[in-house]
Amino acid sequence: MNSSRRSFLYSLLSLSLAPPEVLSRALPRQSKDDELSFTPAQKELLACFCEQIYPKDDYAGAREVGVPDFIERALREAHPDWLAIYRMGLNATDAASRSRYGLGFCQVSFEQQMTLLVQMEKGTLPQEGWGRLDAREFFQMVRDHTMQGAYSHPKYGGNRDKAAWDMIGYYDFWTE
């Protein structure tokens, strides 16, 4: 592994996004190294979440540009200890949807998903089911990581085909 890559892996998510203390405190003391990825259901939940943050419109959305893959890879290679936070948060998001709408987060409408996330962002979602995790901070983290995945260099796994860069007119004339 060359140092460029290691730098990325080592520090990727520390860009103003280090887990707030509340999130850290919620961490289980030990996480098993052999569980370094999401279950298919969790991955789908993550994709639905990210698609809300960076939705498809006339231009590709989070799913299409690879944001969930970016996050999964970054967690696995740079911050395996945060996988537990993601799992807890995604499961709690799903549970909140079931409790509100009787259906999982990916099964409810786009507008219903948005309503839930707005509550998460504002901190008005009932704390039930979140344990020691703060829903608002979890939302902020996924939001920030989604922006990173969408707008960072494609070599990190998101921003597939430079879709986000082309959309806003950013042209990296040096590395191309």
Partner 1 sequence: MTPDKVDAVIVGAGASGGVVAHQLAHAGLRVVLLERGSRLDVKNFQLHDEMLTRGNLYPPFNGLDRRHPREFRHREGEAFQLIYPDSYSYPGLAAAVGGGQLFYGGLMWRFLPIDFRAGSEYGPISGSTLSDWPLTYEDLEPFYDLAEQHLGVAGEAGVNPFDGKRRRPFPLPPVQMQTGDLLIQKAARRLGYHPFTVPLGIATEPYKGRNGCIRHPCCNLFICEIGAKSTIVSALLPATLATGNCRLVTEAVVKEVTLDGKGRPDGVAYFDQGKTLVRQPAHLVILAASATETPRLLLNSRSRWFPKGLGNRNDWVGRNLMDHIGPSVVGFFEETTNEGLGPGPGVAIDDFYGKNPGFAGGGVIYNRTEALPMAFANIRPQTAPRWGKAHKEFQRKYFRRYCRLWVPGEMQPQFENRVEISPSVRDAWGIPVARLTHHLHPNDYALYDFFREKMVNLMREAGAFEVVSRPAGQGGVDAHQCGTCRMGNDPKTSVVDRFGRLHDLDNVFVVDGSLFVTSGGRNPALTIQALAYWVSDHIIREWKGGGWQAKGGRA
Residues engaged in binding partner 1 (CB under 8 A): 2-4, 7-8, 10-12, 14-16, 18, 52-55, 57, 59, 114, 117, 121, 143, 146-148, 150-153, 155-156, 164-165, 167-175
Closest distance to partner 1 from the beta carbon of 39 (Å): 25
Contacts of 63 (CB under 8 A, 6+ apart): 47, 50, 51, 56
Give the residue with the Cβ less far from partner 1, 59 or 101. Answer: 59
To the nearest 10°, report the CA torsion of 47, 53, 54, 58.
110
Q: Is 171 exposed, middle or buried (0-12, 13-18, 19+ CB in 10 A)?
A: exposed
Give the residue with the Cβ less far from partner 1, 128 or 170. Answer: 170
Closest distance to partner 1 from the beta carbon of 59 (Å): 7
Closest distance to partner 1 from the beta carbon of 136 (Å): 12
Closest distance to partner 1 from the beta carbon of 37 (Å): 21
Task: Please give the angle made by the CA atoms of 38, 127 and 37, to the nearest 5 degrees.
Answer: 5
Give the residue with the Cβ less far from partner 1, 41 or 49. Answer: 49
Give the residue with the Cβ less far from partner 1, 45 or 53. Answer: 53
Q: Is 31 exposed, middle or buried (0-12, 13-18, 19+ CB in 10 A)?
A: middle
